[in-house]
């Protein structure tokens, strides 16, 4: 959701900024821009469209030579996708340029105040208001002006600011939107996430809310907007460049679908103690005593992560026999939730920055809940604000459509359920059996991927259809929701997911001749019921695509198309069943000619509410 990059050092900034923007483009890609200080002269290039359009502009302008600059790739919030609304924005008085990720909520009042002071705006954005405010308050000290302005602001921001009158200073600040500072030797790279930093240094620190960092070529200083000094928490970035490159695949989504066997092995590594029949989750160690007292789990998330959380609810109730429920973070926060004693809130998030989930987590903590994180990005806001947690370890997810994070989340939630079960009542023997089953999953995902060619063929047959249904029951009801979400977000096909039984309570009216209806119909407790639901669809002319268990020949007589997954325990089946659905969405998007990794209107990491 908007990516920002900044550089100060001795190298020419422009190529670093452009390379950084390309790495961050998945966060927003409707327009982009770069500002560089050449001596005390501010140069700006902005363009609607992808980063490549800005590169072209820079070429036309002969390139920028300065060694201090900021850049931005945008996902529009305030104001349409026009060049005037592109970042960087500048003020009209003090030579300020600024890039921003987030939303300034009181921008209207600030704009009126600034207009009364004679400032003239050239965009519709909240960001320009902030640039003008900093310019208005500037009296020769950029850091001071930024702090004074931020004290007037409500909303969320990650900003990078420079000023024509101070060619040795870059000021960055954060509240609510992620930002980190990479520390190289005599140079600094600032970015929304590590992917734009890792090519230059592996030493970095994330900013906390209300932190401001003043960076010069000689060093940096961190303090709060109220001038209280802060010691940054330096960390070693563990990402390597290979992880964020395509490596022979056509798209990141495809690469990430194929990475699943490997990354799930990493998710499990060192966490399954087969001898003792127990799960070892280091991130929960300091919290083990509290967890034992847990009486209720609330899992909170959005989107794909919410679907994983729904499976987590089934797992906790089924395996650990503990009360669990799932809530959209966005709803939980505003509905006066009741948190009783010994309630654990689990925030499930790939990015660890999703504003809706983060706000729900804070609300739950304020109401006395214990807070756990199931997060991928190390050091992210949710990871830092939870009492304990388990990292997914699936590596950076660049494709906007979440795939490997989903299977990673379900895998971690399975381990969490077994961890709780073992502490509550499960014998080491039973747990050891579950661990063996779980350990076999990465190899079974590998096997499932072998059906890719067949999934593509099936997709080709139905790709022109504009309405699809995805149906499942029990553990695979959330899988059906996930299949529908994947299809709609990247192929723009209208798809609904629902419990298979719910169809006959209304949505069955949608079924017409040839409508593709995807059933997750693996062998399990509800198999016969699903077969009845398939018959209901068939008798109304729907075309059934079934995801079924290897060896199930009966299903061929009721479904037009069958996509097989290896046999597995029912509680593990979503991790396999989702794979053909991910592939189907991927192929549908490619066949329809869409940009798979940058679907329209979307952005990864939604850091606004």
Mask: binding to ligand F6R, 343-362, rule CB under 6 A, as x and -?
A: ------xxx--x--x-----
**Residue 383 sits in the site that holds ligand F6R (CB under 6 A):** no
Question: Of the candidates 6, 88, 303, 499, which one interacts with ligand F6R according to CB under 6 A?
Answer: 303
Query: Smaller CB distance to ligand F6R: residue 55 or 256?
Result: 256
Residue 493 C-beta: closest distance to ligand F6R, Å: 15
CA-nearest of 147, 127, 129 to 138 is: 147
Question: Of the candidates 67, 77, 123, 304, which one interacts with ligand F6R according to CB under 6 A?
Answer: 304
Q: What is the DSSP code (8-state) at residue 155?
A: B
Residue 194 C-beta: closest distance to ligand F6R, Å: 15
Catalytic residue, from 2, 163, 359, 431: name it: 2
Residues 225 and 210 sit within 8 Å (Cβ to Cβ):
yes
Burial 406-421 (b: 16+ CB within 10 A, else e): bbbbbbbbbbbbbbbb
How far from chain centre, in Å, is Cα 34?
25
Task: Specify whether 604 is catalytic.
Answer: yes
The count of residues interacting with ligand F6R (CB under 6 A) is 15
Peptide bond into 294 cis (omega under 30): no
Show Cβ contacts of residue 342 under 8 Å, excluding neighbours closer than 6 positions.
293, 294, 295, 296, 370
Residue 305 C-beta: closest distance to ligand F6R, Å: 4
Question: Of the candidates 294, 360, 606, 608, which one interacts with ligand F6R according to CB under 6 A?
Answer: 606
Residues 239 and 397 sit within 8 Å (Cβ to Cβ):
no
CA-nearest of 45, 49, 72 to 60 is: 45
Candidates 86-94, 114-122, 297-305, 586-594: pick the segment binding ligand F6R (CB under 6 A): 297-305
Residue 354 C-beta: closest distance to ligand F6R, Å: 3
Residue 303 C-beta: closest distance to ligand F6R, Å: 2
Q: How far is CA 589 from CA 154, 514, 596, in A?
A: 39, 20, 6
Candidates 26-34, 143-151, 181-189, 301-309: pick the segment binding ligand F6R (CB under 6 A): 301-309
**Residue 605 sits in the site that holds ligand F6R (CB under 6 A):** yes
Site for ligand F6R in 514-573 (CB under 6 A): none
Residue 478 C-beta: closest distance to ligand F6R, Å: 12
**Residue 127 sits in the site that holds ligand F6R (CB under 6 A):** no
Residues 339 and 391 sit within 8 Å (Cβ to Cβ):
no
Residue 349 C-beta: closest distance to ligand F6R, Å: 3
Task: Specify whether 255 is catalytic.
Answer: no
Residue 589 C-beta: closest distance to ligand F6R, Å: 12
End-to-end Cα distance, the chain: 11
Query: Smaller CB distance to ligand F6R: residue 222 or 302?
Result: 302
Query: Smaller CB distance to ligand F6R: residue 254 or 349?
Result: 349
Query: Smaller CB distance to ligand F6R: residue 88 or 206?
Result: 206
Candidates 36-44, 83-91, 189-197, 299-307: pick the segment binding ligand F6R (CB under 6 A): 299-307
Two structure tokens written together for 391: 């990292």
Bridge partners, residue 445, by sequence: none
Query: Smaller CB distance to ligand F6R: residue 357 or 573?
Result: 357
DSSP-based three-state secondary structure for 429: helix
What is the spatial distance between Cα 546 and Cα 562, in angstroms, rounded to a whole number? 5
Catalytic residue, from 147, 404, 486, 604: name it: 604
Site for ligand F6R in 400-429 (CB under 6 A): 401-402
Mask: binding to ligand F6R, 254-293, rule CB under 6 A, as x and -?
A: ----------------------------------------
**Residue 302 sits in the site that holds ligand F6R (CB under 6 A):** yes
DSSP-based three-state secondary structure for 18: helix
What is the spatial distance between Cα 337 and Cα 328, in angstroms, rounded to a whole number? 12
Query: Smaller CB distance to ligand F6R: residue 161 or 392?
Result: 392
Q: What is the DSSP code (8-state) at residue 104?
A: B
What is the spatial distance between Cα 224 and Cα 403, in angstroms, rounded to a whole number? 37
What is the spatial distance between Cα 395 and Cα 412, in angstroms, rounded to a whole number? 14
What is the spatial distance between Cα 88 and Cα 86, in angstroms, rounded to a whole number? 6
Residue 609 C-beta: closest distance to ligand F6R, Å: 12
Residue 433 C-beta: closest distance to ligand F6R, Å: 31
DSSP 563-576: EEE----GGGHHHH
Q: What are phi and psi of 593, to 5 degrees?
A: 80, 25
How far from chain centre, in Å, is Cα 59?
33
What is the spatial distance between Cα 406 and Cα 263, in angstroms, rounded to a whole number? 12
Candidates 7-15, 203-211, 296-304, 433-441: pick the segment binding ligand F6R (CB under 6 A): 296-304
Residue 441 C-beta: closest distance to ligand F6R, Å: 21
Q: CA torsion sign, 583 to 586 to 589 to 593?
A: negative
CA-nearest of 198, 7, 323, 133 to 312 is: 323
Query: Smaller CB distance to ligand F6R: residue 170 or 410?
Result: 410
Q: What is the DSSP code (8-state) at residue 276?
A: T
Query: Smaller CB distance to ligand F6R: residue 476 or 605?
Result: 605
Site for ligand F6R in 479-498 (CB under 6 A): 485, 489
User: By beta-carbon distance, which residue lies closest to ligand F6R?
Assistant: 303
- Kind and range of the H or E run holding 538: helix 527-538
Query: Smaller CB distance to ligand F6R: residue 294 or 401?
Result: 401
Query: Smaller CB distance to ligand F6R: residue 67 or 607?
Result: 607
CA-nearest of 128, 129, 215 to 167 is: 215
Query: Smaller CB distance to ligand F6R: residue 150 or 358?
Result: 358
Residue 480 C-beta: closest distance to ligand F6R, Å: 15
Site for ligand F6R in 40-79 (CB under 6 A): none
Bridge partners, residue 155, by sequence: 104
Query: Smaller CB distance to ligand F6R: residue 533 or 605?
Result: 605
**Residue 327 sits in the site that holds ligand F6R (CB under 6 A):** no
Q: Counting Cβ atoms within 10 Å, is residue 220 exposed (0-12), middle (13-18) or buried (19+)?
A: middle
DSSP-based three-state secondary structure for 517: strand
Residues designated catalytic: 2, 604
| Residues near ligand F6R, by CB under 6 A | 302-305, 349-351, 354, 357, 401-402, 485, 489, 605-606
């Amino acid at each position: 959701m908007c990516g920002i990059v900044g550089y100060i050092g001795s190298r020419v900034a422009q190529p670093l900024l452009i390379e950084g923007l390309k790495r961050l483009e998945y966060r927003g890609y409707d327009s982009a821009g770069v500002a560089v200080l050449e001596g005390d002269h501010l140069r700006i290039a902005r363009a609607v469209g992808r980063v490549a359009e800005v590169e072209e502009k820079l070429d036309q302008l002969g390139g920028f030579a300065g060694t201090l600059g900021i850049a931005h790739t945008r996902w529009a919030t305030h104001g349409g996708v026009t060049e005037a609304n592109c970042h960087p924005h500048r003020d009209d008085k003090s030579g300020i340029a600024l890039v921003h990720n987030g939303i300034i909520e009181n921008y209207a009042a600030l704009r009126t105040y600034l207009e009364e002071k004679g400032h003239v705006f050239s965009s519709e954005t909240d960001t320009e208001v902030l640039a003008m405010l900093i310019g208005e308050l500037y009296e020769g000290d950029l850091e001071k002006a930024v702090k004074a302005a931020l004290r007037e602001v409500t909303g969320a921001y990650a900003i990078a600011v420079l000023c024509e009158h101070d060619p040795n200073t870059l000021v960055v600040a954060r509240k609510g939107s992620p930002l980190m500072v990479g520390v190289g030797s005599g140079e600094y790279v600032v970015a929304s996430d590590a992917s734009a930093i890792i090519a230059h240094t592996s030493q970095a620190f994330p900013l906390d809310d209300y932190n401001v960092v003043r960076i010069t070529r000689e060093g940096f200083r961190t303090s709060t907007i109220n001038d209280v000094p802060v010691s940054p928490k330096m960390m070693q970035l563990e990402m390597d460049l290979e992880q964020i490159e395509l490596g022979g695949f056509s798209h990141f989504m495809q690469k990430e679908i194929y990475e699943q066997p490997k990354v799930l092995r990493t998710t499990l590594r060192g966490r399954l103690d087969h001898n003792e029949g127990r799960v070892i989750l280091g991130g929960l160690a300091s919290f083990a005593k509290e967890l034992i007292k847990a009486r209720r789990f609330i899992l909170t998330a959005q989107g794909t992560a919410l679907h994983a959380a729904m499976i987590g609810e089934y797992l906790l109730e089924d395996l650990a026999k503990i009360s669990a429920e799932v809530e959209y973070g966005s709803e939980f926060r505003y509905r006066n939730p009741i948190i009783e004693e010994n309630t654990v809130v689990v925030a499930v998030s790939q990015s660890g920055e999703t504003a809706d989930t983060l706000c729900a987590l804070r609300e739950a903590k304020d109401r006395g809940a214990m807070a756990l994180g199931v997060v991928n990005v190390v050091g992210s806001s949710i990871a830092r604000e939870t009492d304990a947690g388990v990292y997914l370890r699936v590596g950076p997810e660049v494709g906007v459509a979440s795939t490997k994070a989903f299977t990673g989340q379900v895998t971690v939630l399975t381990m969490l359920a077994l961890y709780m079960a073992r502490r509550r009542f499960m014998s080491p023997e039973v747990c050891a059996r579950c661990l063996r089953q779980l350990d076999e999953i990465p190899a079974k995902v590998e096997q499932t991927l072998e059906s890719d060619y067949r999934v593509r063929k099936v997709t080709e047959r139905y790709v022109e259809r504009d309405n699809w249904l995805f149906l499942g029951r029990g553990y695979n009801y959330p899988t059906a929701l996930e299949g529908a979400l994947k299809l709609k977000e990247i192929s723009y096909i209208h798809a609904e997911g629902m419990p298979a039984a719910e169809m006959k309570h209304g949505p069955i009216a949608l079924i017409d001749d040839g409508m593709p209806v995807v059933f997750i119909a693996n062998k399990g407790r509800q198999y016969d019921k699903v077969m009845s639901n398939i018959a209901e669809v068939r008798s109304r002319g729907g075309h059934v695509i079934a995801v079924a268990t290897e060896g199930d020949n009966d299903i061929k007589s009721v479904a037009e198309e069958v996509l097989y997954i290896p046999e597995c325990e029912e509680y593990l089946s979503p991790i396999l069943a989702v794979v053909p659905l991910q592939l189907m969405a991927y192929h549908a998007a490619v066949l329809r000619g869409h940009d798979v990794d940058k679907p329209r209107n979307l952005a990864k990491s939604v850091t606004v509410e």
